Amino acid sequence: MSPRLSPLLSTLALAALLATGPAVAQNTGRNFTVQPQAAGTATQQRVALVIGNNNYADAPLNNPLNDAKAIAKALEAAGFQVILKLNANHKDMMGAVREFGSRLRQGGSGLFYFAGHGMQIKGRNYLIPVGADIQREDEVAYQAMDAQAVLDKMESAGNGTNLMILDACRNNPFARSFRSATQGLAQMEAPVGTLVAFATAPGSVSSDGSGQHGLYTEHLLRLMRAPGMKVEDVFKQVRVAVRKESQGKQIPWESTSLEGDFYFLAPRQAEASAAAAAPAPSAQPEAVEQAFWDAVKDSSSPAELQAFLRRYPQSRFAALAQQRVLSLSMPAPTPTPAAQALRPAAQVPPAAAAIPLPEAGPRQSAQADAAVLASLASPPKGWTPRPQPTWLGRPLRPVKASAPALPAGHRIWPRPPSPRPPAKSAPPVA
């Protein structure tokens, strides 16, 4: 391959790459491979554990099952692998948390969601399973699941990002048999890379809702489906909506130590997913042809233009390329003596052309030199006026001539007289 064609081929490869859209380039030794990449494709796994309990014997709830099912469906749409548990007992909940932690050890993002009864005992939060037999306050730690155990499981997995969402701040169903009258859940400190979200502020009680979903989860479902919204912004908007609808009685609260950006749905993830499912578009022929022609149209090499004609013989630029090849292939004409004689003389400024240039010779008068110098804007370089000619110490005067006619400013000088021979002296008289 000609060395001059290498930049041309590089230009064509770049044009084809730009025409096909985003791609992944791999350099394997001397081979450079371009592979199309679907935009918005998730590069890390997402795992979620969703638990919804409402079938409590002493204080059944209305919406936790609906909330858990809807959250699981929304998370699946966002790319999560969901472990869903409904009306789970203590054993089922502990087994699901163990499976959840094992999956998180493979990396990625984790999310834990619980809807049901929860309570705080001595500053620790407990999630109540279905079928729990709790008669006294000191039995809660053995019959319920400690929320801190879920955080510990996520922290020990060592993955990057974790979310815990607790819609469990409802009325304590065992408050009558407990000595303490503390309501709601206690504040929890989020480990590094974790966000903990509560349906209401610590020590407060949330509403189970009068519709199909709880008040908190209803707004969470709506906002987590918005593409391109960071998780912190999602919970801010949820807090505003819940506070307004509850007239300030319920204010959601979060504790966060996230270090990176997290999205339930990345910007335009739905469009990106549809584009990834479609076949990769091929390079547009017009774009490649235009790039090829732009690269060679000003070239001084006939080989590059001929390569374009071989590739695109029916191109709209074919006639221009052929004309360019013909002009580059023709040898430059050699000028003949006749052509050199017909060349125009060098142009002289009009002011200088109208002035008669002085002729060489001793008969040019000093007055004429002075007149020529005075008429010139600038005298010729290196030219100085000649001194006035004299004969035997006397200046010579110009004589007008009748023929032939001479140009203005020229004079004919008379021949100087021959010197007289010295007079012969008489010989001395003897």
pLDDT digits (tens, 9 = 90+) for 358-417: 454 444 455 555 555 555 545 555 656 666 667 776 776 665 545 556 566 666 566 666
Q: Name the β-bridge partners of 83.
A: 49
- Asked if residue 351 has pLDDT above 90, the reply is no
CB 238 within 8 A of CB 220: yes
Question: What confidence score (pLDDT) does residue 382 get?
Answer: 61
- Asked whether the predicted pLDDT for residue 17 surpasses 50, the reply is no
User: In this predicted structure, what is the pLDDT of residue 264?
Assistant: 94
Average pLDDT over residues 285-309: 82
Task: Please give the Cα distance from 337 to 343 (Å, whole number).
Answer: 10
Query: Is the pLDDT assigned to residue 116 strictly greater than 90?
Result: yes
Judge whether 24 and 35 are in contact, CB under 8 Å: yes
pLDDT at 138 over 50: yes
The confidence score (pLDDT) of residue 355 equals 46
Q: Look at residue 357 in the predicted model and tell me its pLDDT.
A: 47
Q: What percent of the chain has pLDDT over 90?
A: 35
Q: Which two three-digit tokens encode residue 276?
A: 């990834």
Residue 334: per-residue pLDDT:
65
Which of these, 179, 188, 244, lies nearest to 218 by C-alpha position?
244
Count of beta carbons in the 10 Å neighbourhood of residue 305 = 24
Crossing angle (nearest 10°) for helices 302-311 and 318-329: 150
Query: Is 72 within 8 Å of 50 (Cβ atoms)?
Result: yes
Higher pLDDT, 264 or 287: 264
If one compares 115 and 356, the residue with the highest pLDDT of the two is 115
Checking phi first, is residue 201 left (phi over 0); if not, alpha (psi -120 to 50) or beta? beta
Strands 118-121, 124-127: pairing kind: antiparallel
What distance lies between CA 90 and its chain's CA centroid?
52
pLDDT at residue 29, as a whole number: 39
CA 76/CA 179 separation, integer angstroms: 42
pTM: 0.55
* Long-range contacts from 205-210, C-beta under 8 angstroms, 24+ separation: 205/169, 205/170, 205/171, 205/250, 206/167, 206/169, 206/170, 206/250, 207/246, 207/249, 207/250, 208/61, 208/62, 208/63, 208/170, 209/62, 209/63
CB 15 within 8 A of CB 292: yes
Contact 70, 217 (CB under 8 A): yes
pLDDT value at position 94?
Answer: 96
What average pLDDT does the chain have? Answer: 76
Rounded Cα distance between 188 and 193, Å, is 14
Instruction: Name which of 249-263, 344-358, 392-406 the model is least confident about.
Output: 344-358
Separation of alpha carbons 372 and 379, rounded Å = 8
Condensed to tens digits (0 to 9), the pLDDT of residues 325-336 reads 888 877 766 666
For residue 101, count other CB atoms closer than 10 A to its CB.
21
* Residue 147 pLDDT greater than 60, yes or no: yes
